[in-house]
Chain A
Amino acid sequence: MATVAGTAISITARPSRRSLQVFNGISVVKSVSFASQRKSFPSIRSHPATPCFRVSCAAKPETLEKVCKIVKKQLALPENSTVAGHSKFSDLGADSLDTVEIVMGLEEAFGITVEEDSAQSIVTVQDAADLIEDLVCVKSA
């Protein structure tokens, strides 16, 4: 955690907490906020068309690959089926039980814990990989 001396701003390494609801495959980003920055920055409302503000870098290719493998296994997709970063879980036929199972599978594979609201914020496979990268970073920091 870094603090800028002389000001009240602090930046945590925690992943952005986004609250997304997924209903029947349609997801809506409710808001984006940083817990420790609430006084300095208002929560940013965004919708799927605008990029979400995050303090993180994109996932490493090997992370994404591992995630794709776990997703294919959970959804029982054939080996040669296309699961890429841009694939939406709902488009892959994942229902809510699949989603929580995938999250659990990812937690076990990467040794991390994904919070309930972040879990539901995952729309694409890339989102999942990015979130995992954040959490793995925090864990090893």
Chain B
Amino acid sequence: MLSRRPAFVHSVCTRLLHSRPLMASDPGRPVETSIRAKLTRALQPEHLEVHNESHMHAVPPGSESHFRVLVVSPHFDGLSLLQRHRLVNDTLKEELSTRVHALAIQAKTPQQWAKDPSLGKSPGCLGGSKGDHTVQQKLQTEQS
């Protein structure tokens, strides 16, 4: 049914299906809140998704150590994949040097997002974080 609608309606429906409301600051999720705020401020995204994937990894429940972000922004026009990812990394430099252990990034222009509005999927954990003292240190930073 969706495919028989005019293209702009399809696009709006797809965006509604995939968009998430901008969440108010959540004291229980400070890292996620910070990531969302910084990416919004730096890249003025048309669409932004921030997913805490820590539960998929060998870290305690409630951790904020592993994230996936999807950023759709005209700022990425003309930039290579590497340049886009470096832009996201630089924006989240503080989080990446303190609390965030892993960050999966999808950085698309609005045109690319319109053609392929899909969120990537992270591979399954192979337990590397278990007993990893650098992850433990980051989690302690988070809890203190």
Q: Do they bind each other? A: no
